[in-house]
Structure 1
């Protein structure tokens, strides 16, 4: 088989490139020839080059780019160019790089790349259908809920007057007027006078925090409604019966407790002594008519 060109010519081309200070990548930008073909020319690697006709054309382009005369350069290495019967695979890409002898038969990988836009289109279509179904479902659900609410309103309007009275009573119970806290440091007591709540029952919610506390709740007669140790991060609800004028809440660690009446009214314990800090403390609730 006739050599494409001699190793001496390959070395001369490489020497001329280095003299110009070009890297293979830079030379590829100038010649629009892939770096792998330029490297194959320098290494006289015919197996990595395209057909002989294109290899010669690449070498001439290489010589011209590094300042050599292509025609004179190849006079010493004349050979009969190989006759190429099939040039159907030869083409030039959009970037100007010549691709020689490329088989255009689509591989599985190239076919798969062609499917990618279709796959994305199917995904987008599926997402769109899901969103449409979700919106329709929510609208339908909202309509049903609205109808149910309307039915509840109609039914509620026919409730006897006694129920309305009970609701009014419950509203009055929640609308507590605690008044101003009265602190008696000598007696270790904070007192509240709660107006217009004697005839209502109440719920006292105690939450233990920062280490826990002993909780004892008694009425004015000394009856114990609750008496136990509360661990940290626990809570206890104590029922306070109607017509109980006095409730005493005793805490062994007052700073470890948080008090709430009827789930809405926080019971503050202000003006606690700080030197020394208060520990045992009493909170007195006077429910008035």
Structure 2
């Protein structure tokens, strides 16, 4: 697949010498959904603004659809959709008036009713923007980003303020757009959102990429966990030597990089002694654990 977003040794500094983006490189293929994750201040929004052409990099190279999005904005902007964290629409216009105003500045814009139905705002077209809920305003932001039928879609925290149903509906819409060939770059604080949607992701920490790859690849770097209640009369010293156990009696936890082998040996151990491991819980690592593990590791190595 052709890469439609390319960042090479990208850097962005602010007044006073603070470097928010510290030499990151990644690419996004056509039709791929790529998620940028990170704690507050990790550099996500600063990076996305460079990709959107809203600012010039301090150093490095960025290309979107083969063009410099800042220097060649006229070639890039009509082919991209951008959903910022806040839209800032005129509060006294109705929803339909707002979309019509935006459509007047957009080449090849979708019909207003179509754009509103895509984000489930068709029934709110005559409502003033100031009367919308926070979640409805986010859906209006998304409608604007989709208005020009973009080839590349930038979504900066798209489901903030949405309830669980609205979030799931937005996920389904984003999947449909991706499946239809739209390339999507997503930033989010919701790790479940990245797990559900992303083909690949990068985790930023303090302006650098700390991990990158498919969700399963990033998660695989973290240990899995087994927990259970040890039967009476046994201690952790009686268990098979699978690694350090947390706890000596009662509740036992084991972190392992080989979940299948460790779980099998524990179950064989219990069978041979005719005992039950109460509350047995065997689980692979999650993206949340990978995310927190990276943050902890960076703190320790400072």
Give yes or no for TM over 0.5.
no
The answer to which structure has the higher strand fraction is 2
TM-score, with structure 2 as normaliser: 0.21
User: Which structure has the larger Rg?
Assistant: 1
Higher-RCO chain (CA-CA 8 Å, sequence separation at least 6): 2
